[in-house]
Amino acid sequence: MDRIIHTPITKEIADSLHVGDMVYLTGQIYTARDAAHKRMFEAVQKGEALPIDLKDATIYYMGPSPAREGRPIGSAGPTTASRMDKYAPTFMDMGQTCMIGKGKRSDAVHEAVVRNHAVYLAAIGGAGALLSKCITASEVVAYDDLGTEAIRLLTVENFPAIVVLDSTGRDAYLEAEEEAKKQNQA
């Protein structure tokens, strides 16, 4: 099903999204990848304040290529989400409701998605030019020194993504694998 969704993604909205839904996202989302996750996680462990509010936040695992003059951003596709698995459950427990990336997640992430009424969306890996067109503004809001890995606040319009993990515990990748197994046996 095609779903037009506006941020912030509340737990209710996340609960309404199901595996296989095609989501078109409009509103504001953060970017953070390996280095920013590590730094935020260490801040949480030390009891320090985070530079962004995680409540109902969407974090896009992405490090863009540099923007040309007059453009908000360069190529902007998803990075492999499993590298964030170590940190994501903690952030969901703190209020984050949506992750956008690509690829499989750990059991701990699956459980955190269900427990927190969150959702994991996949953007199409390697479609950075196309996805760049759905980003109308980009501003570095924290960890500027990390370059492409800094935390950005993006304004997106009809940003396409597919629901991969939903709060009922379904997993689109697993279902695709099982479907193929069935077909191969038939």
Q: Which residues bind other proteins (CB under 8 A)?
A: 20, 22, 35, 62-68, 74-77, 79-80, 82, 102-104, 122, 124-130, 132-133, 147-148, 160, 162, 164, 172-173, 175-177, 179-181, 183-184
Question: Within 72-131, which residues bind ligand SF4 (CB under 6 A)?
Answer: 77, 125-126
Distance CA 110, CA 167 (A): 9
Bin 128: left if φ > 0, else alpha if -120 < ψ < 50, else beta: alpha
Q: Which is nearer to other proteins, 50 or 127 (CB)?
A: 127
Residue 66 binds ligand SF4, judged by CB under 6 A: no
Task: Write down the residue that tokens 């949506």 correspond to.
Answer: 98
The values of phi and psi at residue 74, to 5°, are: -95, -150
Sign of CA dihedral 157, 3, 161, 34: positive
Residue 147 binds ligand SF4, judged by CB under 6 A: no
Listed residue (163, 161, 183) closest to 24, CA to CA? 161
CB of 65 to other proteins, least distance (A): 4
CB of 171 to ligand SF4, least distance (A): 20
The residue ranges that bind ligand SF4 (CB under 6 A) are: 77, 125-126
